[in-house]
């Protein structure tokens, strides 16, 4: 059974930093691109970032570029999101998600999110 | 970025009703559209991918249609477990954008 377990959420100050982690199990972690998707009442669901299975390619939403860094350690089956220069609008539940390169699940540009973790809450407040 | 617009934002219905939710894309996304169901306190789950293909384990009362810029999710006969919030998401472009959601509640 696929499991994605986020950790590291909590309270961060405006301008500060937080690091989220996600532990994957039940699948060959390095075979799959992984993503972060966030959800807040004001902004809804937003894709944040994607990293390829090998970790050599990364992609970011415009709001995350220059502030967030996605990385993975395939030897430990973990996915991380380093969030710097936090803003109030970054307050959200952050989901770790998996993308399977299955027929119909991916276009030539991107994929859907076929497995989700339970989410980690990020609060940004002074 | 491609904008995804769902309607209605809220839909009140009864068990046994047939309901339809619409999702419109601001530009052509071919058939690269997914529908998700989210229940309170839970993560979204994929219902339909490539506009009309049911994900594994999804009941056949769910169906999706459309291509280009207009898409629909239909539940043929609402069951108690179907009251939830539904989201569309395009994966035609790098931006991977979601609709704002349609909350399906009990009339």
- DSSP letters along B40-99, please? TTS--EEEEETTTEEPTT--TTEEEEEETTEEEEEESS--GGG-SEEEEEE-SSTT--B-
- The DSSP code for A111 is B
pLDDT of residue B89: 98
C-beta of residue A60 within 8 angstroms of C-beta of residue A68: yes
Going by their DSSP bridges, the two strands B53-54 and B45-49 should be labelled as: antiparallel
Taking contacts as CB-CB distances below 8 angstroms, the residues of chain B near A50 are: 96
Query: Higher model confidence: residue B7 or residue A103?
Result: B7
Nearest CA-CA distance, residue B16 and chain A, Å: 28
pLDDT band at B90 (very low <50, low <70, confident <90, very high): very high
Taking contacts as CB-CB distances below 8 angstroms, the residues of chain A near B87 are: 44-45
Cβ of B52 under 8 Å from any chain A Cβ? no
Q: Is B13 helix (H, G, I), strand (E, B) or coil?
A: strand
List CB contacts of B14: < 8 A, sequence separation 6 or more: B78, B106, B107
- The DSSP code for A62 is T
pLDDT tens digits, A109-123: 899 999 999 999 999
Going by their DSSP bridges, the two strands A10-12 and A120-124 should be labelled as: parallel
Q: CA B48, B19, B21, B69: dihedral to nearest 10 degrees? A: 80
pLDDT of residue A9: 87
Query: Pick from A45, A95, A109: which is nearest to B94 by CB?
Result: A109
pLDDT tens digits, B15-47: 999 999 999 999 999 999 999 999 999 999 999
pLDDT (tens, 9 = 90+) of chain A, 126 residues, equals 999 999 998 999 999 999 999 999 999 999 999 999 999 999 999 999 999 999 999 999 999 999 999 999 999 999 999 999 999 999 999 999 999 988 889 998 899 999 999 999 999 999
- CA B59/CA B75 separation, integer angstroms: 10
Nearest CA-CA distance, residue A125 and chain B, Å: 23
Instruction: Quickly list H helices, chain A.
Output: none
């Amino acid at each position: 059974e696929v499991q994605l377990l986020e950790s590291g959420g909590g309270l961060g100050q405006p301008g500060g930093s937080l690091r989220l982690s996600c532990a994957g199990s039940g699948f060959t972690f390095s075979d799959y691109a992984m993503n972060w998707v966030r959800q807040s009442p004001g902004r809804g669901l937003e894709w944040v970032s994607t990293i390829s299975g090998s970790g050599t390619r990364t992609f970011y939403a415009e709001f995350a570029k220059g502030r967030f860094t996605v990385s993975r350690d395939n030897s430990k089956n973990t996915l991380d999101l380093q969030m710097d220069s936090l803003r109030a609008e970054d307050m959200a539940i952050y989901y770790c998600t998996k993308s399977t390169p299955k027929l119909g699940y991916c276009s030539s540009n991107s994929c859907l999110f076929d497995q989700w973790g339970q989410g980690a809450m990020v609060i940004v407040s002074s | 970025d491609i904008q995804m617009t769902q309607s209605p934002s809220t839909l009140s219905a009864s068990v046994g009703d047939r309901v339809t939710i619409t999702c419109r894309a601001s530009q052509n996304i071919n058939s690269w559209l997914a529908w998700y169901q989210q229940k309170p306190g839970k993560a979204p789950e994929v219902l339909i991918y490539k506009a009309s293909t049911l994900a594994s384990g999804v009941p056949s009362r769910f169906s999706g249609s459309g291509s280009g810029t207009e898409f629909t999710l239909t539940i043929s006969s609402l069951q108690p477990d179907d009251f939830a919030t539904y989201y569309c998401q395009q994966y035609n472009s790098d931006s991977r954008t979601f609709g704002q959601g349609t909350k399906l509640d009990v009339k």
